[in-house]
Structure 1
Amino acid sequence: MSYDGIVTRKVVNEIRAKLLGGKIQKITQPSKNDIVLNVYSMGKSYKLLLSANNNEARINLTQKKYENPDIPPNFTMVLRKHINQAKIIDIIQKDLDRVVIFSISSIDEMGFDTSKKLIVEIMGKYSNIILVDDNYKVIDSIKRVNENMSSIRQILPGVKYEFVDNDKYDITDESFDYDIKKLDQKLSDSTIPDKIFHKTYTGFSPIVGKELIYRAGIDSRINWGLVSESEKDRLNNLLYELRDEIINGNLKSFTYSDDKKIKEFHTIKLSHLDFKEKSYSTMSESIEEFYNINKSHDRLNQIKTSLIKKINSHIKNTNKKLNILSNNILQESKIEGLRKNGDLLSANVHKISKGDNKIVLD
Structure 2
Amino acid sequence: MAFDAYMMRAVLTEYKREFGEAKIEKVLQPRNDEVDLVIHSGKKSSRLVFNVGPNAPRLQLSDTVKENPLQAPMFCMFLRKHLTGGKIISVDQPGFDRIAVFTVSCYDEMGFSTVKKLVCEIMGKYANLIVLDSEDKVITALKIIDFSASTVRQVLPGLKYQIPEKQPKLDPTEIDRELFFEKLRQFPKERTVEKFITGVYSGIATQIAREISYRTSGKTDMPIEEIDKERFYAVFSAWQKLLIEEDYSPTVAYDKNGKPIDYSYMDISYLVGAQKKKFDSFKALFDEYFAEKDRLERIHQRAHDLLTLLSNATARTERKLAIQREDLIESEKGAVYKKYADLITANIYRLERGMESFKAIDYYDENCPEIEIKLDSRLDPSKNAQKMYKLYNKCKTAKEILTEQISIWEKELLYLESVKSFLERAENEQDLIDIRDELYRSGYASKMRGYKPTKSVKLRPIKYKTSGGYRLLVGRNNLQNDELTFRVAQKNDIWFHVKDIPGSHVIMVTDGEEPSEKDYTEAAELAAYYSKAKGDVVAVDYTRVKNIKKPQGSKPGFVIYKTNYTAYVKPSCNLEEN
Q: TM-score when scaled to structure 2?
A: 0.52
Partner of 2:238: 241
8 Å Cα contact 1:180/1:232 also seen in 2: no
**Letter of the structure 2 residue corresponding to residue 293 of structure 1:** E
Shift of 1:315: 7.3
SS of the residue 1:131 aligns to = strand
Tell me the equivalent position of 2:112: 112
In the alignment, does 2:258 pair up with 1:269?
A: no
Shift of 1:221: 4.6
In the aligned structure 2, how far is the partner of 1:43 from the partner of 1:61? 16
Distance 1:178 1:136, change over 3 A: farther
Alignment root-mean-square deviation, CA: 2.7
Partner of 1:90: 90
Greater Cα shift, 20-29 or 177-186: 177-186
Assess if the C-alpha contact under 8 Å between 1:9 and 1:93 holds in 2: yes
Cα displacement (A) at 1:101: 1.1
Q: 1:206: which partner in 2?
A: 206
Deviation at 1:14, TM superposition (A): 0.9
Q: Which has the higher contact order (CA 8 A, sep 6+)?
A: 1
Distance of aligned partners of 1:313 and 1:109 in 2 relative to their CA distance in 1, 3 Å threshold: closer
Q: Per-residue deviation at 1:206?
A: 0.9
Distance 1:85 1:234, change over 3 A: same
Relative to structure 1, is the Cα distance of residues 127 and 156 closer, same or farther in structure 2, using a 3 angstrom cutoff? same
Output the amino acid matched with 1:310: L
3-state SS in 1 of match to 2:191 = coil
What residue number does 1:348 align with?
none
- 1:158–1:312: structure 2 CA closer, same or farther, 3 Å change rule? closer
How do 1:348-359 residues align onto structure 2 when only pairs under 5 Å count?
A: none
Assess, with a 3 A threshold, how the Cα gap between structure 1 residues 85 and 135 changes in structure 2: closer, same or farther: same
The 8 Å contact of residues 19 and 88 in structure 1, kept in 2 or not, is answered as: no
Contact 1:98 1:122 survives alignment (8 Å): yes
Change (3 A) 1:203 1:218: same
Aligned residue for 1:45?
45
Aligned counterparts of 1:67 and 1:190: Cα–Cα separation in 2: 51
CA distance in 2, matches of 1:131, 1:201: 30
Report whether the alignment pairs 1:168 with 2:149. Answer: no
For the residues of structure 2 that align with 1:81 and 1:311, how far apart are their CA atoms? Answer: 48
Deviation per residue, 1:227-275 (Å, 9 max, x gap) = 3xxx222222322322222222211100001123111100011112111
Q: Distance in 2 between matches of 1:122 and 1:224?
A: 31
Alpha-carbon shift at residue 54 of structure 1 (Å): 0.8
Identity over aligned pairs, percent: 28
Question: Within 2, Cα distance between the matches of 1:318 and 1:210?
Answer: 44
| Secondary structure at 2:150 match in 1 | coil
Matches of 1:117 and 1:49, distance apart in 2: 16
Partner of 1:352: none
Could you tell me the TM-score, scaled by structure 1's length?
A: 0.81
Structure 2 gaps of 5+ residues are 324-393, 395-578
Given residue 128 of structure 1, which amino acid in structure 2 is its aligned partner? N
Kept in 2: contact 1:146–1:155 (CA 8 A): yes
CA distance in 1, matches of 2:244, 2:264: 16
What is the rounded CA distance, in whole Å, between the counterparts of 1:106 and 1:20 in structure 2? 16
Three-state SS of the structure 2 residue aligned to 1:246 is helix
Query: Does 1:59 find its partner at 2:43?
Result: no
- After TM superposition, the structure 1 = structure 2 runs for residues 176-187 of structure 1, keeping only pairs within 5 Å, are 179-187=179-187
**C-alpha displacement at 1:311, in angstroms?**
4.2
State how far apart, in whole Å, the 2-side matches of 1:319 and 1:236 are: 57
The aligned counterpart of 2:296 is: 297
Instruction: State the 1:305 CA deviation.
Output: 5.7
Residue type of the alignment partner of 2:163: F
For 1:34, the equivalent position in structure 2 comes to 34
Higher CA-based Rg: 2
> Contact 1:21/1:87 (CA < 8 Å) preserved in 2?
yes
Residue 177 to residue 170, structure 1, CA distance change in 2 (3 Å): farther
Paired positions, count: 321
CA distance in 2 between counterparts of 1:91 and 1:48 reads 13
Please report how far the alpha carbon of residue 153 of structure 1 lies from its aligned counterpart in structure 2 after TM superposition.
0.4
Q: CA deviation at 1:20?
A: 1.8
Within 1, Cα distance between the matches of 2:196 and 2:318?
A: 56
For the residue of structure 2 that corresponds to 1:162, the secondary structure is coil
Equivalent in the alignment of 1:360: none
1:136–1:312 CA distance, 2 compared to 1 (3 A): closer
The residue aligned with 1:339 is none
Alpha-carbon separation, structure 1, partners of 2:286 and 2:178: 31
* 1:131 alignment partner in structure 2: 131
Three-state SS of the structure 1 residue aligned to 2:186 is coil
Task: Name the CA shift for 1:157/1:222 in 2 (closer, same or farther; >3 Å).
Answer: same
Tell me: CA distance 1:307–1:219, structure 2 relative to 1, closer, same or farther (3 Å): closer
